[in-house]
């Protein structure tokens, strides 16, 4: 089968480790099944893997990709939940399983014509969603859904700041928060991305670091060092930062005096459960919200998509079709 594979680790030039071509069909352990991939989405996770973050050289070659929608062995249209874990070991939450992983970390990923997954990781794809739209959900959109509706503790009518409009999680958070009736502010260094954030539903968009019209109840943080201080300063007393990424760096000044004096909360969030993925799909059907797809490319042109992500030349999701 045709697949996109990491064949070497290069922290400085990650695309040097990207190989496109034939790979063996996936092995199928007991309790697993295969999905014929109709669409697969790109994530920063794939780029980090090529840099060796979460993917050591001794696991190479490794087929990349966390997100996919396709058809299972019985002909059902499905979305693949990419968290490989045991809910029982995580107290009912597979993302808290100490042994959990994502597809493409230990098991071959979704940037291929077929992928093998545990049977419990299949979620029915609503007919109202295209394969391309559904493929955007398992990582970025599920992460945003959990951050907003589980970790942030927001009540109806709340206010939220989304840092770094343009990335997959950020665009998902803007659209989901607007659909839920929150007051949504967004930031970006790019004027074009600020305009597109407002098209997605943001009430207002500002340059990174700009003062907001009000202090917000929660901040959706995926950028890290470059926006961390602004995120803390933008919160109301008792407010909460939910962080699921640090694309600009992972060691910003903690500003602990601000954290304790204003009783701020910092909450980590990673991915979401299978049940949350199913609820997310139903939420999109109910509200009419759809993922913004920046571009759709054939899998044979995956290097173009990886290069665009590496350069930050995207707004929303890049999707591949085998």
* 26 and 114, same domain (yes or no): yes
Domain that holds residue 130: 2-136+291-321
Does 19 map to a domain? yes
Asked if residue 257 and residue 229 are part of one domain, the reply reads: yes
Number of neighbours of residue 74 by Cβ within 10 angstroms: 8
Q: Are residues 12 and 69 in the same domain?
A: yes
Instruction: Classify residue 281: in a domain, yes or no.
Output: no
In this structure, the answer to whether residues 42 and 145 fall within a common structural domain is no
Q: Are residues 179 and 259 in the same domain?
A: yes
pLDDT at 235: 98
118, 182: one domain: no
CATH number (domain holding residue 205): 3.40.50.720
Same domain for 193 and 263: yes
Number of domains in the chain: 2
Residue 214 domain flag: yes
**pLDDT score, position 2:** 98
What CA–CA distance (Å, rounded) separates 198 from 158? 18
What angle do the packed helices 274-287 and 168-179 form, to 10 degrees?
60
Residues 6+ apart with CB under 8 A from 84: 100, 101, 102, 103, 106, 107, 117, 118, 121
CA distance 97 to 99: 5
79, 146: one domain: no
Are both 119 and 6 inside the same structural domain?
yes
- Residue 79 is predicted with a pLDDT of 98
DSSP bridge partners of 167? 165
The answer to the question of residue 99 being in a domain is yes
pTM of the model: 0.96
- Two tokens at 135? 């493929």
CATH number at residue 80: 3.90.180.10
- Asked whether residue 69 is assigned to any structural domain, the reply reads yes
- Is residue 222 in some structural domain? yes
Q: Is the Cβ–Cβ distance between 281 and 134 less than 8 Å? A: yes
Q: From residue 7, give the alpha-carbon distance in Å to each of 47, 61, 104.
A: 13, 5, 12
pLDDT for the residue 249? 87
Residue 277 in domain: no
> Do 130 and 21 belong together in one domain?
yes
Same domain assignment for residues 75 and 180: no
Per run of 10 residues, the mean pLDDT along the chain (length 322 residues) is 97 96 96 98 96 94 98 98 96 96 97 98 98 98 98 95 94 97 97 95 97 98 94 98 92 94 97 98 98 96 96 93 96
* Residues 6+ away with beta carbon under 8 Å from 88: none
Look at residue 280 and tell me if it is in a domain. no
- Give the C-alpha separation, 264 to 11, whole Å: 35
Show the beta-strand stretches assigned E in 226-301: 235-243, 265-268, 293-298
> Do 123 and 6 share a domain, yes or no?
yes
pLDDT for res 167 = 87
- pLDDT the model gives residue 247: 84
């Amino acid at each position: 089968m045709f697949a996109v594979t990491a064949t070497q680790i290069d922290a400085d030039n990650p695309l040097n480790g990207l190989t496109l071509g034939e790979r063996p069909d996936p092995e199928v352990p007991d309790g697993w099944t295969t999905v014929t991939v109709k669409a697969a989405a790109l994530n920063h996770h794939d780029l980090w893997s090529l840099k060796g973050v979460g993917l050591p050289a001794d696991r190479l070659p490794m087929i990349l990709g966390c997100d996919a929608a396709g058809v299972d062995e019985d002909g059902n249209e499905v979305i693949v939940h990419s968290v490989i874990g045991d809910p029982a070991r995580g107290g009912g939450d597979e993302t808290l399983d100490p042994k959990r992983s994502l597809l493409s970390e230990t098991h071959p990923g979704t940037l291929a014509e077929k992928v093998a997954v545990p049977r419990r990781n299949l979620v029915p794809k609503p007919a109202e969603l295209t394969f391309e739209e559904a493929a955007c959900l398992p990582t970025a959109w599920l992460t945003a859904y959990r951050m907003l509706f589980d970790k942030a503790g927001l009540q109806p009518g709340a206010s939220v700041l989304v840092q770094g409009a343009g990335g997959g999680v950020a665009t998902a958070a803007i659209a989901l928060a607007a659909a839920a009736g929150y007051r949504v502010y967004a930031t970006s260094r790019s004027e074009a991305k600020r305009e597109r954030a407002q098209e997605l539903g943001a009430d207002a968009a500002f340059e990174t670091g700009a003062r907001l019209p009000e202090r917000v109840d929660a901040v959706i943080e995926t950028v890290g060092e470059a926006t961390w201080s602004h995120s803390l300063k933008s919160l109301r007393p008792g407010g909460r930062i939910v962080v699921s990424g640090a694309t600009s760096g992972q060691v910003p000044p903690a500003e602990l005096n601000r954290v304790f004096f204003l009783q701020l909360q910092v909450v980590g969030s990673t991915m979401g459960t299978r049940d949350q993925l199913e609820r997310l799909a139903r939420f999109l059907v109910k509200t009419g919200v759809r993922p913004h797809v920046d571009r759709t490319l054939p899998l044979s042109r995956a290097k173009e998509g990886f290069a665009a992500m590496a350069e930050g030349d995207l707004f929303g999701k890049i999707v591949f079709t085998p």
